Amino acid sequence: MHTEPDCLFCRIATGELSADRVLETEDVVAFRDINPQAPTHVLVIPREHVSSLDAAEPRHAETIGKLHLAAKRIAAEAGIQGGWRAVINVGADAGQTVFHVHLHLLGGRPLAWPPG
Ligand code: AMP
Ligand code: ZN
């Protein structure tokens, strides 16, 4: 499995860097965002380094699905009522700042649409 030694989220995935982890499976790791934008703000990442959804290939399909199913499980365990949001920022113009694909799980407050 491909990892990048200089990638922040690869280093969290391996445990080299600490994070407030909420879920770990064979394929994905989830941890609380360091700068939360909602009462529940969790990042779900694949253990494998994929820089962006733009870089994903068909072989990543199952892993990308697992990011979403992990978010569903975390939202349920957090007891979020009334709905939550899954966001993947793709590329700099969309606000992507960490180039290891990650799903934002946001919940616990009303969420406006469209996002900024
Ligand atoms: P994005 O802007 O979509 O690339 O999201 C990157 C997210 O990673 C931001 O919401 C940051 O607050 C968050 N973040 C950056 N460094 C860390 C860290 N060490 N632990 C947890 N979250 C982080
Ligand atoms: Zn990485």
Instruction: Tell me if 51 CB under 6 Å of ligand 1.
Output: no
For the chain, what are the domain ranges? 8-107
Residue 31 Cα: closest atom of ligand 1: 21
Q: What is the residue-averaged pLDDT of the chain?
A: 97
User: Per-residue confidence at 1, pLDDT binned at 50, 70, 90?
Assistant: confident
Known catalytic residues are 102
Bridge partner residues of 42 (DSSP): 32, 105
Residue 9 has a pLDDT of 98
Dist CA 47 CA 63 (whole Å): 9
Of the listed ligands, the closest to the CA of 20 is: 1
Question: Ligand 2 centre from 60 Cα, in Å?
Answer: 14
Phi, psi of 2 (to 5 degrees): -80, 125
Paired sense of beta strands 40-46 and 21-24, if any: unpaired
Report how far apart, in Å, the C-alpha atoms of 102 and of each of 46, 81, 82 are.
7, 23, 23
Nearest protein CA to atom 3 of ligand 1, as residue: 96
Residue type, 28: V
Instruction: Tell me if 34 CB under 6 Å of ligand 1.
Output: yes
* Residue pLDDT, tens place only, 60-96: 999 999 999 999 999 999 999 999 999 999 999 999 9
Residue 116 has a pLDDT of 80
Instruction: Provide CATH code, domain 8-107.
Output: 3.30.428.10
